[in-house]
Amino acid sequence: MRLVESAGVTRHRVLRGRRRRPDPKFYAGSGKVEEMGRAVTALNAAFVVFNHELSPAQQRNVERELDLRVLDRTELILEIFAQRAQTNEGKVQVELARLEHLSTRLVRGWTHLERQRGGFGATGGPGEKQLELDRRYIARRVKVLHGKLDALQKQRTVQRRARARGEVLSASLVGYTNAGKSTLFNALARGKAYEADLLFATLDTTTRRIWIPPANPVVLSDTVGFIRELPHGLVAAFRATLEETVRADLLLHVVDAASPARGEQQAEVNKVLAEIEAAETPQIVVYNKIDAARLAPEVERDQYGRISRVFVSARTGAGLDELRGAIAEFGAARKAERNPSRASISL
């Protein structure tokens, strides 16, 4: 439901149902689809949204039955991403994800498979079908977009090497969508990242250099939020952006302390981190929104004495000094690891 609200859509009715397994034809079963049809007629709805991923055939069958556009969970997330993308890189990644998703559903728009035209040349031989033309166009466009993302990835690699030579600590904010990452980023970096009580309010990665003595310069990055069942295609399309997470020295895993589902959300984030090969990157869990959860600022350490959790409120500023201290402590320890003392002890 939060996804629908974040897309700027008015929700008229929620229909729920239980099945042992999805219906092969409609996913929800014929009886539930009939109930949808009655609700659509009564409410004069513009479209129907499934909070599940539908196969191309299931989506096509429900649309035929309801004579209405149907969006599944993946298409809804893609729509939100398209609304949020601001930078050129973000727009390229969204377009790539949408085209790759569309390529599996082209038949929905061309069920008649009309013979389009004859002739010779690059468009194909006589009688080529419109479906084949569209697939060829999408394939060419996807190739162009992959080339653009490869160039952006090389640029990021050069920037990371420069930071490594200067021994600059890099930290990335990660977490479930709407956990307060952008608010925390702005509080730490005095930045101007977009903040809103919406899912995926931030889509484009923002990076700022901040100073936290004695760690000195720290490069802090705000990244796209994760969500339950984040489509694999989106993770793949946003791999260039998520490189900042993979290559970071430290992950600040932001958790909404006031959310009753914080444990499940934290597990979902760790699942995506494993998918992008960032599971081994050191983490400090930052419990945010302690003002709403009625908790006090606090620092917790693991059995080895390392800081494992920090409790803060990005909105009120409570606990931010403790978080800065945790980053500085990690930076000092990392610096000591990279530059071990060469002093010898004389007996």
> Hey, what domains does the chain have and what are their CATH numbers?
2-71 (no CATH), 168-338 (3.40.50.300)
Of the pLDDT bands very low, low, confident and very high (cuts 50, 70, 90), residue 200 is low
pLDDT at 313: 97
At 150, the amino acid letter reads D
pLDDT at 18: 83
Which range, of 96-105, 114-123, 151-160, 298-307, averages the lowest pLDDT?
114-123
Question: For the chain, what is the mean pLDDT?
Answer: 79
The pTM score is: 0.67
pLDDT at 127: 46
CA angle 165, 167, 169 (to 5 degrees): 130
Q: What is the rounded average pLDDT of the residues 175-191? A: 87
Looking at 205-347, list the stretches that DSSP marks H as alpha helix, in order from N- to C-terminal side.
232-237, 239-246, 262-275, 290-293, 320-338
**CA pair distance 202, 182, nearest whole angstrom:** 7
Q: Which residues contact 252 (CB under 8 A, 6 or more apart)?
A: 171, 172, 173, 174, 184, 283, 284, 286, 323, 327
pLDDT at 66: 92
Q: Which residues contact 140 (CB under 8 A, 6 or more apart)?
A: none
**Residues of the chain with pLDDT > 90: what percent?**
30
Most confident of 242-251, 256-265, 269-278: 256-265
Contact 307, 330 (CB under 8 A): yes
Residues 204-229 as b/e (b if ≥16 CB within 10 A, e otherwise) read bbbbbebebeebeebbbbbbbbbbee
Contact 319, 311 (CB under 8 A): yes
Which range, of 150-159, 184-193, 268-277, 284-293, averages the lowest pLDDT?
150-159
**CA pair distance 51, 1, nearest whole angstrom:** 8
**CA pair distance 182, 124, nearest whole angstrom:** 49
At 10, the amino acid letter reads T
Write down the residue that tokens 């589902």 correspond to: 261
pLDDT at 239: 62
Most confident of 69-78, 84-93, 192-201, 254-263: 254-263
Largest CA distance in the chain: 92
User: Under DSSP, is residue 338 helix (H, G, I), strand (E, B) or coil?
Assistant: helix
